[in-house]
Every structure is written in C-alpha cells, then in structure tokens.
Amino acid sequence: MAAAKRGTIQLLGDKRKRGEKIVSLTAYDFPTARIEELAGVDFILVGDSAAMAVHGQGTTLGATMDMMIAHTRAVRAGAPNTLVVGDMPFGSYQGSDEQAVASAVRFLAEGEADAVKLEGGNPRSLSRARAIMESGIPLMGHIGLLPQSVRATGGYRVVTSASAERLLAEAMSLEAAGAFAIVIESVEEALARDLTRAIGIPTIGIGAGRYTDGQILVVSDMLGLTPDFDPKFLRRYADLHSTILQAVTSYAEDVRSGSFPGPENTYSPTGGGVE
C-alpha cells in the first residue's frame, strides 16, 4: 500500500479558493498529534504556547529553540502525513536575519517541520521573514495580538479597528514577501473580515471571529485541560480535566485499598510466567 501523501502549504490555498474552512490545532506531543491526524486537521502548529500549556510558565517567552525542536519532532512522529508548522520562539530571530534563518533551518532539519511561523509585521519582522523565505523555507505570518510582545503591550488585549491601517499594511507586506498564510489573533471580527478580504492568502483566526479562512485553538484549552482559562473566543469540546482527575483518583483509591492489581493483572506460571 502506498504511503499517505503529506499535507502541503498548497492545500491551504486550495481550500481558500474553494471556500472551504481550514482546520488547525496546536500539538506538542506524539499521542496528541496522532489523534489530530486521525481527525483530519489541515495543519498542526507546534506553538510556543508549549511554554504555558506543557511547561507551566506564565507566558510564551520562556520557550526555547531546544524545547520547540523536541516538541516538533514528537509531533512529526505522531502526524507524519499532516502539514506541521514550527513556531519561532522569542529570542530565536530578533537578533539578525542570519539568526532567523539558522533557527528556521533547525525547525526543518532537526524538527522535521514543513514550515515556520513568525510573529509580527513590522520592518524588522518583515526583514527576518524575507530572509527565511529567501532561504527556501515556507513561512506563516502572525499579526494582531502578539504574545511574544506581551511585555511591551502591557498584557493580552483585543486589537480594535483603531489599528486597522497598521494591520492591513502588515498583512499586505507579509503577503508580498511570500508568506503562505497569516494567523490573526484577538482581533475584532469586522477587522479580521476586512483583512481576509484584502489579501489573497489564507487567514487563520484565533479570537478573530467567523470570517477568517480557518480557525486554530490551543489543543489543551479546547479539550478542557485548562479549566481556569475561559476567554470569550474559546469553545470547550471536552472536559478532560475532570475525566483525568476522576481516573487518577480512582487509581489511587484502588492502589491504597489493595484492589489493584487484581488477579487479572498478575502473571502466573500458567499464564506465561513472571516477566
């Protein structure tokens, strides 16, 4: 049987042309990526949100290249036939175009990603983006709320129509530079709609309303693993926090009572012996 064909960046553009919504989630590990591939998501973002979702940090700023490469390799192993995008972490591209290219190369060479994502559309970010793409590495842009700039902006705030001119210029500049798609984060719905209409490449929204070409959520949030995080844009599709808590509590009770392991969980000479 022939191997399944890996998803490509062209898939996203084709879906936009056909008016089909693009489905994406983050993933950080093998089992989650495997489930997302089985469910048929169009691409997986190995987000720098791993710093918060997996490592328990307060912001994304603590994500490192080594951390992101390890997560990306695990995701690729779990989703060998899905488009995988590695998220360039804070400090991996700010220094120079050369640093940005070297970091992006690591994502593809070591992490086996198909593309990278880079935050921002200001002149410095555009310079880094162009250098990466000129090296032959596909790039996804990211405008609106920029989690890596949380120290400069003073927090996580919805971007309003007052920033429309700037965001439009950033989106158009990223498209002109060769980005294959743009994430639009925490932007008023009408503004995200106008940005999507103004450019010819797919837009992927998170907290950007109904009119972007696709949607992305942090997988641990939509699975209900972060019960204290409840922004307006989030819809929970499961309550795994309660499910896992109950399972672990039941296990602990069974071990303490002596009911686990039971006879059915033990090895005997007639059952093949002790291993």
255 burial (CB, 10 Å; 0-12 / 13-18 / 19+) is: exposed
Specify whether the CB–CB gap between 227 and 217 falls below 8 A.
no
Residue written as tokens 């997988």? 219
d(CA 103, CA 87): 10
Check 175, 185, 188, 275 and give the catalytic one: 185
d(CA 31, CA 201): 31
d(CA 213, CA 197): 10
d(CA 188, CA 49): 22
Active site residue 188: no
Cα 123 to Cα 73, 94, 111: the distances in Å are 31, 12, 28
The set of catalytic residues is: 185
